[in-house]
Structure 1
């Protein structure tokens, strides 16, 4: 992360300047502020809290549901109906609008609470020095210039500069680093990025050990935590590919409907000689027939089913459309710790091999130079590395009594990230001993000898040092973290060292300890599935590049020599250079990544046309999680901030669950195409009756009323369409490459099959039933069929026959929609029981509409006779059979063509 003017807590204030200058600029002192001065500053600086931009958004979200293109089209239809006095039709259309709007609004009201979750990182109380006394105040009342008292276990309440003492701080919520870092007043860093300054502490982080005092230089939205909160709010979440496509299709349908209405209304009025009222009825029918009222609710319900299925597999999706987006994901940017690995350190090797005496000395030093603690119930708590070392010491037979250890500790030199080591001075039965551990490259130069068998020491020659360096490199290449452990025994009467330099000298090397956070067992198979599916995996982590590379190689993410970039390298790159790198380099690892780096990588990938899934668990990951197409947060180890900013939360923190979610997303997308085709196939039979009425100039009565059309669209269509969303995954689903971001869910072959093949066939069958009833009753073109005429009952039966004929054709379309090329027998007629139950419901509802007197009066239906029902019985088989023959011809053509087996089976 680069340190820019935007990173500064206030204009002209540099928290890394000399402490005397900082106190002057803050108009404070080492004894803090007076209470009166603090109250005055609170008025100007404002409360120490994170604020959310903007106000309520739900009115705008609700209004959007009523202004969707399909909704606008239905509003126009309702307005036309009301204008000419067809109130029942107008009311029915408005009811459909309300149902769709409420349904969509409810599923969108997953509130964006990322900033509120960030606020949870601020502790409610803070210890400060005011009026020369230490007191406890509400953290919200902290102001710049206050002096904080920080102790072990405290959540730090504001960004502050240490003025006395030293503390170990868990910065993982800000930086992603799993290791606590040491911060002290005497570690002066100037002109460095603020998060790297070793004398600064930050709001929202936790003191794990030590005690210090610090002067506050930033509060509220001016803190590093506030900066991330503001960055998260500035990142707008785009519509998913499916949302964009559905909206595009909605506008297309609206344009087609308006054009048809404008074109045919004059024809109906002047060419066909219809009255103005009948012409409006025709226009309303054309609009309603073109609008797939069930499209949005059915998509929403199908996505909700996908969400429930993913939840059972350990992936909680917070936005319904994300299910489909998962299916088009072609890049996964994954963290390392906890996602690819078990997030549990363990000792794997001790080099060189030792005898029991040497191992005992090594285990003793591991226990002494350690701050992990054993609870009364036997559990060990603390830093994961130190916990692993204590557990290893116990396995070596060393007694682990942390309470006794702390009682006999005389001095501690905390872990210093610059020196990469720590040391302690302890009382032992055989005298006082200095124990030290740290990175081999910093420890070995401080050692003059090595402990051998039986307690004998041998000098560390240049040759032996080279051998030890080779051992370290060999372990590092396997992704293991290596620590060197050493000691120095004080002679009787020797004073306890007061400085680190005096303590950490003339050490005797006890051994090298290699540790590893192992990869999860199931990750390698999941990575292989991703590669087979054409999904690229990029590791972005706050850890060291060498460790990340080893884990990536062990899990199969990289197979050659990857390009590894750290945060500084990325900061120096231009946008064009980053785009080129992401496009031309297949195997990439980004190490030591900052919040801006992850956000920038997500932006660059999306700008080059990729659909990106980004994992994260810390506060620092929130902006990138929001920007990615799919933000994936960890449910166990992740922060509330990450979970609120993400689209999907993994309850098991497992990378393999992402792969399962991608597979589920692809299946859901395929099924969405199936039921969209199913819904579109009914547009033709819905429009044809109104065209017949208009083009005949009214000599043929309206074969289907508008209310019957709405009953067909909203009532009988929904459950079978939803059942198509439960189709099982097709074989080879994860062998396909990811589809492109701009690939339309609705394509020309689908429309031709829906509108001009199955649609025309269903319309012809329904109209045949209509004319069968009228002609058998003695009707001739132009005969009156209105209320009170002899043919009125026959006319009502005829419109009912049209309605039921469309329902019968709908059943055949449902079976045809289950596959695009494969035969129905190959996937099993009964393999989707929900579809069978949906058809049963559809027939039951149609029976109620046809035979229940209240609905007969409302919808203008009449009971059908057995011969009429017998006429419609073959309709489903005719529709499905025609499509089965079409698919047979397609399979024969594909078998003779260049398509492979996978394409022929689709």
Structure 2
């Protein structure tokens, strides 16, 4: 991470030449790594803090110390957005035409459809972005500040740059500050992801070190786990690290998913076609002599018949079903459209620890100096010394609490027959120098049980410990052993010891303790891969999904784990210091090369850069993360995946999906589910669009005959089909099981439309045309049986009126029965129906049963007959339309069989659609 604060010159605003300092203005930021005296001078403060009056003035300039929330859209605004969707606009137009034509009942029915659709979509999709609010909860409500030379409890939001604050064990840090007195152990895991507390003292800064690694800085929202000290505040509110992350999270707004964009495109296409057809045939109707009322009725009918009123709620319901299914499998999806986006994922960027591995460190290998063995008394001495050099504790139930690495050392000592009594360990301890992330060392002065004399024990990173070991052949041998172990995916610690000479005083500074050491050996710790990860990675490769690892771990260790689980096909490349990579280097690694990458020693900013690069080249990215600082990258990725067990609240709020089991394999399961949902969306689009043809053709027959053929279908009957009989079967198609080979297809291109040319040909040209011919045959059969001739009157009061009502009812019922055949046909695209089971979708069977009962109610119930203009059907008409499902489905099966015979491999053909 680079230091984003720059130093600014300041002057005294009062004009006092002697003071040489100026209280900071709201536009200034400060370099906290500069010498303390200079920082205090620029902040115009001292050891006794600010006066209350000065603090009040600065509060007016800088504003409160709080993370500002971005104003969210109002409920009326969000509702209005749903009401101006292209399909909704088309229905608004149809409603206006209905009222103009004095068809108030129809107009109100269409308006009800608009409102129900908008409300349903709003309730399903409204997911508040709470990441910034969650960040704000990390800040304490009160803080102990030094004002007018006295320590006072003040509201944390009233802190200003220049305030001196007092920090103790258990306190949350209220602002970014520089430690000026004492020493603290601070839990920075929310910012860095590191579980080991960091030591913070009044030490001088490190030249060129990242801000979070500075040994004298504490940050807003982190927690003091031990120690006591004072610090001077240099940044508050939005200028803190927490505020910077909040700003990034708000700038990286959520973009529409591919499905959302495609549905909008399709909606505009449908709107254009419907409007054009309505206008053309309105003019045509007038030209052929139809009354204006009939022409308007005709135009409204075309609009309503063209608009798939049930499309939006059906898609929303299908995605909701996918969300519930994934929740049962360990993936909580927070945004409905994310389910479909998962299906188009082409790249997964994953953490290592806890996602690919179990996050259960255990002692794996020992190497002893001078012996190289992992057995015998030397090995027991090594593991016992390592366990003594720990700070973990044991609770009343006997469980270990503390750093997982140290817990593994204590458990490993017990496994080797040299258990450590933690209470006795602490009682015999004479000095403790906690782990320093800069030095990568920890040391203790422990009383030796056998001799009663003190003994210095040191553990840490091999390179750091070996630098403090006396020269000898063991050092080179240890370096070689360290490399071999790291290449095997093992985390390596070195342990060394020294016994002070007789009369030598005990060390009071760590520099005195950590020198002149004798190497005891190396301890290898191993966090094994999760069960099923290797299989999941293999499924990713079959599905054409690349997997990259972005981790803060050592490159050799991360690469070994990656290879063990199968990452690195066709080859693996390891990149360290990833945050220094230029854009052109990232382009080459991620796009031009065919390797899978391990980004080692990575910061959260690396994740953001990787996500941006992949997005810029059209890849659909799933990115895992668990820390607060991961929130911008989780926002930026198409699918942000947070850890449910080990992740922070902020990461979970920023992500689109939360893994309740932290398991990589669950991501792959979610991708398969996303592909299945997308396929099923296409299936019920085929189902819904297939009914546009038999709904439109009757109006064309009416218009082209200049009214000689009466309208075979009323507008209210169309609404009964689109909103009543159609919805449940369409929803049931959203529950279809995956077709064979779904994870052997490459990810679909980002630009691929949810509606393809083949789908339209199948919907309108095969299923729709067959259905239209069948339903018109039923309509004309009823009229001709009653003696009707073209041009005969069928209006109310005429002899043929009852026959006409019966004929329109036959059309309505015929479309419903054709729906049944279309539903079975739409269940598969290439596979035969027998391959997935004729009766395997029980919800579809229930949906079909419902639409048949609903249709029977409209046809045979007198109150509904009066509303929808229906009449009871005679038995011969019922027998006729009962054959429609088999004819529709059978025609599509023949088409599918011919295509399969011509195409060869159906999976290959399907992947191109």
TM surpasses 0.5: yes
Residue 51 (structure 2) pairs with residue 41 (structure 1): no
Q: Give 1:376's match in structure 2, choosing from 385, 388, 396.
A: 396
Q: Which one is further off, 310-319 or 881-890?
A: 881-890
Distance in 1, Cα, partners of 2:367 & 2:387 = 18
Q: Which one is further off, 862-871 or 222-231?
A: 862-871
**Conserved in 1, the CA contact under 8 Å of 2:339 and 2:677?**
yes
Distance in 2, Cα, partners of 1:177 & 1:465 = 29
Q: Which residue of 2 aligns with 1:620?
A: 629
Structure 1 runs not aligned, ≥5 long = 449-459
- Deviation of 1:363 (Å): 4.2
Distance in 1, Cα, partners of 2:151 & 2:489 = 47
Check 1:813–1:135 CA distance in 2 against 1; reply closer, same or farther (3 A cut). Answer: same
Distance in 2, Cα, partners of 1:59 & 1:15 = 46
Residue 492 (structure 2) pairs with residue 482 (structure 1): yes
Distance in 2, Cα, partners of 1:164 & 1:403 = 31
Q: Which residue of 2 aligns with 1:438?
A: 460
Distance in 1, Cα, partners of 2:618 & 2:195 = 33
Q: Give 2:591's match in structure 1, choosing from 583, 594, 615.
A: 583
Please list the CA deviations of residues 516-560 of structure 1 after superposition, one character each: whole Å capped at 9, or x if unmatched: 222112211111110111100011122232222122111111257
**Conserved in 2, the CA contact under 8 Å of 1:369 and 1:435?**
yes
SS in 2 for 1:418: coil
Residue 647 (structure 2) pairs with residue 638 (structure 1): yes
**Conserved in 2, the CA contact under 8 Å of 1:326 and 1:661?**
yes
Distance in 2, Cα, partners of 1:900 & 1:210 = 64
Distance in 1, Cα, partners of 2:829 & 2:416 = 64
Distance in 2, Cα, partners of 1:720 & 1:412 = 70
Check 1:899–1:398 CA distance in 2 against 1; reply closer, same or farther (3 A cut). Answer: closer
SS in 1 for 2:507: coil
**Conserved in 2, the CA contact under 8 Å of 1:553 and 1:559?**
no
Alignment of 1:353-752 (within 5 A): 353=373, 357-429=377-449, 430-448=452-470, 461-462=472-473, 464-558=474-568, 562-567=572-577, 569-574=578-583, 576-585=584-593, 586-752=595-761
**Conserved in 1, the CA contact under 8 Å of 2:903 and 2:909?**
no
**Conserved in 1, the CA contact under 8 Å of 2:383 and 2:523?**
no
Distance in 2, Cα, partners of 1:162 & 1:828 = 70
Alignment of 1:111-260 (within 5 A): 111-260=128-277
Distance in 2, Cα, partners of 1:345 & 1:30 = 44
Residue 46 (structure 2) pairs with residue 29 (structure 1): yes
Check 1:640–1:21 CA distance in 2 against 1; reply closer, same or farther (3 A cut). Answer: same
Distance in 2, Cα, partners of 1:561 & 1:351 = 31
Q: Which residue of 2 aligns with 1:452?
A: none
Check 1:71–1:522 CA distance in 2 against 1; reply closer, same or farther (3 A cut). Answer: same
Please list the CA deviations of residues 401-442 of structure 1 after superposition, one character each: whole Å capped at 9, or x if unmatched: 434433443322232223221212234451222111112222
**Conserved in 2, the CA contact under 8 Å of 1:16 and 1:191?**
no
Distance in 1, Cα, partners of 2:416 & 2:261 = 61
Check 1:877–1:561 CA distance in 2 against 1; reply closer, same or farther (3 A cut). Answer: closer
Give the CA RMSD over aligned residues.
2.2
- Deviation of 1:336 (Å): 1.2
- Deviation of 1:279 (Å): 0.5
- Deviation of 1:817 (Å): 0.9
Number of aligned residues: 889
Distance in 1, Cα, partners of 2:137 & 2:845 = 49
Q: TM-score, normalised by structure 1?
A: 0.94
- Deviation of 1:331 (Å): 0.3
**Conserved in 1, the CA contact under 8 Å of 2:900 and 2:906?**
no
Residue 121 (structure 2) pairs with residue 88 (structure 1): no
- Deviation of 1:905 (Å): 14
Q: Give 1:829's match in structure 2, choosing from 815, 831, 838.
A: 838
**Conserved in 2, the CA contact under 8 Å of 1:168 and 1:210?**
yes
Distance in 1, Cα, partners of 2:232 & 2:872 = 85
**Conserved in 2, the CA contact under 8 Å of 1:235 and 1:626?**
yes
- Deviation of 1:839 (Å): 0.7
Distance in 1, Cα, partners of 2:897 & 2:379 = 75
**Conserved in 2, the CA contact under 8 Å of 1:891 and 1:904?**
no
- Deviation of 1:377 (Å): 2.2
Distance in 2, Cα, partners of 1:563 & 1:160 = 39
Q: Which one is further off, 648-657 or 742-751?
A: 742-751
Distance in 2, Cα, partners of 1:523 & 1:775 = 68
Distance in 2, Cα, partners of 1:549 & 1:632 = 22
Please list the CA deviations of residues 748-782 of structure 1 after superposition, one character each: whole Å capped at 9, or x if unmatched: 11111111221111111111111111222222222
- Deviation of 1:393 (Å): 2.4
Q: Give 2:361's match in structure 1, choosing from 327, 332, 345.
A: 345
Q: Which one is further off, 32-41 or 852-861?
A: 32-41
**Conserved in 2, the CA contact under 8 Å of 1:732 and 1:902?**
no
Q: Which one is further off, 137-146 or 384-393?
A: 137-146
Distance in 2, Cα, partners of 1:403 & 1:160 = 35
Please list the CA deviations of residues 320-368 of structure 1 after superposition, one character each: whole Å capped at 9, or x if unmatched: 1111111111100111111111112211112123666544543443343
SS in 1 for 2:138: coil
Q: Give 2:341's match in structure 1, choosing from 325, 329, 332.
A: 325
- Deviation of 1:703 (Å): 1.0
SS in 1 for 2:523: strand
Check 1:437–1:311 CA distance in 2 against 1; reply closer, same or farther (3 A cut). Answer: same
Higher RCO (CA < 8 A, seq sep 6+): 1
- Deviation of 1:49 (Å): 1.5
**Conserved in 2, the CA contact under 8 Å of 1:716 and 1:807?**
yes
SS in 1 for 2:492: strand
Residue 785 (structure 2) pairs with residue 768 (structure 1): no
Check 1:373–1:153 CA distance in 2 against 1; reply closer, same or farther (3 A cut). Answer: farther
Distance in 1, Cα, partners of 2:770 & 2:910 = 27
Q: Give 1:13's match in structure 2, choosing from 12, 30, 37.
A: 30
Distance in 2, Cα, partners of 1:228 & 1:513 = 37
SS in 1 for 2:695: helix
**Conserved in 1, the CA contact under 8 Å of 2:5 and 2:31?**
no
Distance in 2, Cα, partners of 1:6 & 1:589 = 33
SS in 2 for 1:321: helix
Please list the CA deviations of residues 144-202 of structure 1 after superposition, one character each: whole Å capped at 9, or x if unmatched: 22223233333222111111223333322212334333322114224543223221111
Distance in 1, Cα, partners of 2:566 & 2:335 = 31
Distance in 2, Cα, partners of 1:625 & 1:366 = 38
**Conserved in 1, the CA contact under 8 Å of 2:120 and 2:313?**
yes
Distance in 2, Cα, partners of 1:363 & 1:737 = 49
SS in 1 for 2:336: coil
Distance in 2, Cα, partners of 1:842 & 1:299 = 19
Structure 2 runs not aligned, ≥5 long = 9-25
Check 1:144–1:605 CA distance in 2 against 1; reply closer, same or farther (3 A cut). Answer: same
**Conserved in 2, the CA contact under 8 Å of 1:58 and 1:109?**
no
SS in 2 for 1:129: strand
Distance in 1, Cα, partners of 2:816 & 2:695 = 11
Distance in 1, Cα, partners of 2:477 & 2:382 = 20
Distance in 1, Cα, partners of 2:423 & 2:137 = 32
Check 1:425–1:151 CA distance in 2 against 1; reply closer, same or farther (3 A cut). Answer: farther
**Conserved in 2, the CA contact under 8 Å of 1:168 and 1:207?**
yes
**Conserved in 2, the CA contact under 8 Å of 1:770 and 1:802?**
yes
Check 1:58–1:550 CA distance in 2 against 1; reply closer, same or farther (3 A cut). Answer: farther
- Deviation of 1:819 (Å): 1.8
Distance in 1, Cα, partners of 2:44 & 2:425 = 43
